[in-house]
């Protein structure tokens, strides 16, 4: 049982937060919860979860190898939620790149609810 804090910004324990979706096969109840769990998936290098939670028509644009490469090349530091609606989340993800230089990834993400399950569709970046 993981008793460390979750990688996302809730301050909850991993088991009571993103761990529910990443390890216990529960479905994220909101787009925001899914976005947070996807950030945690990058932090723990869970490429399968990232592909599974990407909307089916968008999956062809991603490869598990590339996702894993991006997840492992960076040290994920912090997630900051800027704003959200029922199906969008605006956030900044802070990480150290492979040269240990601080970087910020800004994204405005869109999600879709289908058969009672949330999926990541796409994101606008700056």
Q: Distance (Å, rounded) from C-alpha 113 to C-alpha 27?
A: 11
Split at pLDDT 50, 70, 90, the class of 2 is low
Strands of 75-84's sheet, edge to edge? Answer: 75-84, 88-96, 102-114, 117-125
Residue 1 has pLDDT above 70, yes or no: no
Domains assigned to the chain: 14-125 (3.10.450.50)
pTM over 0.75: yes
pLDDT tens digits, 5-58: 999 999 999 999 999 999 999 999 999 999 999 999 999 999 999 999 999 999
What is the model's pLDDT at position 3?
75
């Amino acid at each position: 049982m993981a008793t460390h804090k979750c990688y996302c910004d809730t301050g909850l324990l991993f088991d009571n937060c993103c761990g529910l979706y990443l390890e216990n096969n529960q479905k994220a109840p909101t787009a925001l919860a899914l976005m947070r769990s996807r950030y945690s998936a990058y932090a723990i290098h869970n490429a399968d979860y990232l592909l599974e939670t990407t909307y089916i028509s968008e999956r062809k644009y991603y490869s598990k190898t590339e996702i894993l490469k991006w997840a492992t090349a960076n040290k994920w530091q912090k997630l900051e939620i800027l704003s959200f609606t029922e199906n969008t989340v605006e956030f900044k993800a802070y990480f150290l790149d492979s040269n240990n230089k601080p970087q910020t990834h800004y994204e405005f993400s869109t999600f879709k609810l289908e058969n009672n399950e949330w999926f990541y569709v796409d994101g606008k970046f700056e």
